[in-house]
Amino acid sequence: MSSSDHLRKPVLPGKGASDYERYLRTDELLALQKNAEELLHKDEVTFQVVHQASELLMKGAAFELERVRILIAEADYANAARLLRRSNQILDYPISMLHVLETITPYDYHLIRAGLGHGSGLDSPGFLALLHIGPRLGEAFQEQLHKKKLSVDDIYRRHEEFFGLHDVAERLLDFDERMHLFRFHHLKLAQRIIGGGVVGTMGTPVEVLHQRMEHLFYKELWDVRNQITANANLPAQNQTEQKRKR
C-alpha cells in the first residue's frame, strides 16, 4: 500500500466511487439524458445535452445576478460589476451553444420534436429567472442614482468621478445585449430548423420570437447615447446656423 492510497478513498457522503463523483453528483447528472433505446434520433443526445447545459448555466447566471442586486443596493459597485462580468461570461455559453444545434438538419429535428409534447422554451426556468431579475437590477441601479441625485447622463459625462456606477451601468448594458443576442441567435436557429412562418410546440408563431427580441431591460442606458451624440453635435449645428444668419 503506497502512502497516497488513502487519498483515493472517498471521504464525502453520497453515491459514487470517488469524491469527484460524489461532489459533482455525476451519477445523477449523467443519468438525466435518454438512454440509447429511448432516443428518437441519435442527434437527440446533442439536443438534450445542449438544452440541459443551457439551463444549468442560466441558473448559475441568475444566481449571480441576485447577488449583484444586493451589492448594488449596498452601493458596493466594484463587487457588483465583478459578478455582473462573471454572469455575462456565463451567458456567452448558452448563446454560442445555440450554434451547435444548427448542425441538426430539419428532417432529423422533426423526429426529435415529435417527442417534445407541448415542451417549449417559453417555460425555460433559466430564461424566466433571467427575465425576473433583469428589471429588479434596473430598479436597484435607478435607486442608487436617485439617492445620489444623479442622472444617467451625469455618470456618463463624469465617468471618471463615478467610476463604480459607470462600470455597473456598462456591465448592465452587456447583460441586456446578451439577452438580445440569445434571442437573436435563437430566432435564427428556429428559422433555420423549423422555419419562420410556422407555430411552435406551444402554439406561439415563430414571428413572436422576432417581436420579443425588441425587448430591452435598460432602455435609459441605450437612450443616453442618443442624448450624448445630440449634445456632441450641438456646437457644429450652432455654427451652421450662425453662418446661415450672416
Q: How many CB atoms lie within 10 A of CB 6?
A: 9
Residue 47 or 141: the one with the smaller Cβ distance to ligand HEM is 47
CA 81 to chain centre: 16
Residue 82 or 110: the one with the smaller Cβ distance to ligand HEM is 110
CA 23/CA 123 separation, integer angstroms: 29
> Of residues 101, 133, 172, 221, which one binds ligand HEM by CB under 6 A?
101
Binding mask 102-121 toward ligand HEM (x if CB under 6 A, else -) reads: -------x----------xx
CA 84/CA 182 separation, integer angstroms: 17
Q: What are the distances in angstroms from CA 6 to CA 26, 134, 165? A: 22, 48, 51
CA 181/CA 175 separation, integer angstroms: 10
Q: Where are the alpha helices (DSSP H) in 102-218?
A: 106-113, 125-147, 152-157, 163-193, 206-212
Q: Considering the rule CB under 6 A, would residue 138 count as an interface residue with ligand HEM? A: no
> Of residues 166, 178, 183, 185, which one binds ligand HEM by CB under 6 A?
183
> Of residues 45, 145, 181, 189, which one binds ligand HEM by CB under 6 A?
189
Q: Considering the rule CB under 6 A, would residue 91 count as an interface residue with ligand HEM? A: no
CA 70/CA 10 separation, integer angstroms: 37
Q: Considering the rule CB under 6 A, would residue 45 count as an interface residue with ligand HEM? A: no
Q: How many CB atoms lie within 10 A of CB 215?
A: 13
> Of residues 29, 202, 230, 234, which one binds ligand HEM by CB under 6 A?
202
- Minimal distance, residue 214 CB to ligand HEM, in Å: 10
Q: Contact at 8 Å (CB) between 136 and 208?
A: no
Q: Considering the rule CB under 6 A, would residue 46 count as an interface residue with ligand HEM? A: no
Interacting residues toward ligand HEM by CB under 6 A: 50-51, 54, 94, 98, 101, 109, 120-122, 124, 127, 183, 186, 189-190, 193-194, 200-204, 206, 209, 212
